[in-house]
Amino acid sequence: MRVLHVAEADLWMRALEAGGYRGSTRGLDLAQVGFVHASTARQLPAVVAGLYADASLEDQVVLVIDVPTCESSGSPVRWEVPEDSAQPFPHIYGPVPVSAVVAVLRMRRGADGRVTMPVLDGLDVLEAPPAR
CA distance 54 to 31: 25
Residue 8 counted as domain residue: yes
Q: Residue 7 maps to which CATH number?
A: 3.20.170.20
Domain count, the chain: 1
Confidence of residue 43 (pLDDT cuts 50, 70, 90): very high
DSSP state of 59: G
130 within some domain:
no
Average pLDDT score, the chain: 93
Residue 132 lies in a domain: no
Q: Decide if pLDDT at 55 tops 80.
A: yes
Instruction: Provide mean pLDDT across the span 99-128.
Output: 93
pLDDT average, residue stretch 61-73: 97
Q: Where are the alpha helices (DSSP H) in the chain?
A: 9-18, 30-33, 44-51, 67-72
The pTM of the full predicted model, rounded to 2 decimals, is 0.95
- At residue 132 the predicted structure's pLDDT band, cuts being 50, 70 and 90, is low
Q: Rounded CA gap, 52 and 49, in Å?
A: 6
Question: pLDDT tens across 1-23, in order?
Answer: 999 999 999 999 999 999 999 99
- Say if residues 24 and 36 touch (Cβ distance below 8 Å): yes
What residue numbers bound the domain in which 60 lies? 2-113
Instruction: Work out the average pLDDT over 43-62.
Output: 91
The string of pLDDT tens digits covering residues 75-88 is: 999 999 988 888 99
121 located within any domain: no
